[in-house]
Amino acid sequence: MPPEAASNGITTASLDNELREAVEKLMAASDQAVKQQCLALIQELLDRKAALLRAPFSEKVRRIKEAA
């Protein structure tokens, strides 16, 4: 299963773009509340990307188990 299929069309590339934007916003931010929002968003994006990276491998394992 391609990563997009496991994540409703969200790809690692689109998450990378979101991450880049969030980091840029964080680095440009002076307001503490905005910084906190950016930090939370970055953490969420990192978690989502980690899950997306794992998805195709987990799917392969599931298929191998099914075949066995």
Partner 1 sequence: MADLKASSRAITNLLGTRSNILDGFIVVAKLTVLAGTGIIGAARIANSPGVVTYIAVGVVLVAGIFTLIAERSASTTLAEARTAMDIALEQEADAQNVLRKLEAAEKAYNAELDRLSHFQVARDLVRAILEGIATSSSIFEENAVIELILTQARRQLYLAFGFEMSDFYTICVYERVIDPDTGDTVLKCRANKRAIDCDIGKATVWKEGIGAAGSALASGQEVVVPDLSDPALGSLYKLPEKKTDDDVNYRSIVAEPIGMDGKEKLGGALVVTSSRPGHFSVRNRDYVNVAQSLAGMLALTVKLVRAKRGVTLVASHS
In the complex with partner 1, which residue's Cβ is closer, 5 or 24? 24
* Interface with partner 1, residue 20, by CB under 8 A: yes
Find the binder of partner 1 among 27, 32, 33, 67 (CB under 8 A).
27
Helices (H), the chain: 12-28, 32-67
Burial class (CB in 10 A: 0-12, 13-18, 19+), 10: middle
41: its two tokens? 């968003």
* Interface with partner 1, residue 39, by CB under 8 A: yes
Find the binder of partner 1 among 34, 36, 43, 44 (CB under 8 A).
43
